[in-house]
Amino acid sequence: MTTARLTLDPAFAIGEVDPRLFGSFVEHMGRCVYTGIFEPGHPRAGADGLRADVLELVRELGVTLVRYPGGNFVSNYRWEDGVGPVGNRPRRLDLAWRSLESNTFGLNEFMSWAGQAGVDPMMAVNLGTRGVAEAAELVEYCNVREGTAAADLRRKHGVAQPHDIRLWCLGNEMDGPWQIGALTAREYGRLAARAGHAMRRVDPSIELVACGSSNADMPTFAAWEATVLEEAYDQVDYLSLHHYFDPGRQDEASFRASAVRLDGFVEDVVATADHVRAKLRRSKRINLALDEWNVWYQSRFTEPEDRGIEDLPPLIEDDYTVTDAMVVGNLLISMLRHADRLTVGCQAQLVNVIAPIRTEANGPAWRQATFHPFAHTARLARGTVLRAAVSSPSMATGSFGDVPVVDAVATRDERTGELTIFAVNRGTGALPLELDLRAFPGLRAGERIELADADPLIVNSAAAPDRVRARTEEMPVLDGGRATVLLPAVSWHALRFTPEEKP
Query: Catalytic site residues?
Result: 173, 292
Do you find a cis peptide bond into 349, omega within 30 degrees of 0?
Answer: yes
- DSSP secondary structure letter of residue 34: B
Distance, CA of 138 to CA of 327 (rounded, Å): 37
Q: Which of 293, 389, 298, 287 is nearest to 339 (CA)?
A: 287
Contact in structure between 62 and 378 (CB atoms under 8 Å): yes
Within 10 Å of residue 309's Cβ, how many Cβ atoms?
12
Give the torsion sign (CA, 336, 338, 341, 345): negative
Start-to-end C-alpha separation, the chain = 41
Contact in structure between 329 and 451 (CB atoms under 8 Å): yes
Burial of 425 (0-12, 13-18, 19+ CB in 10 A): buried
Which phi-psi region, left, alpha or beta, contains residue 342 (left: φ > 0; alpha: ψ -120 to 50)? beta
The beta strands (E) that lie in 260-308 are given as 287-295
> What's the length of the chain?
503
Distance, CA of 279 to CA of 243 (rounded, Å): 27
User: Could you tell me how many helices (H) and strands (E) the chain has, helices first?
Assistant: 10, 25
Distance, CA of 363 to CA of 340 (rounded, Å): 42
Give the torsion sign (CA, 481, 485, 491, 493): negative
Contact in structure between 297 and 248 (CB atoms under 8 Å): yes
Contact in structure between 66 and 346 (CB atoms under 8 Å): yes
Distance, CA of 83 to CA of 251 (rounded, Å): 47
- Concatenating the DSSP letter of every residue in 38-54 gives B-TT-TTB-TT-BBHHH
Distance, CA of 352 to CA of 345 (rounded, Å): 19
Distance, CA of 45 to CA of 51 (rounded, Å): 4
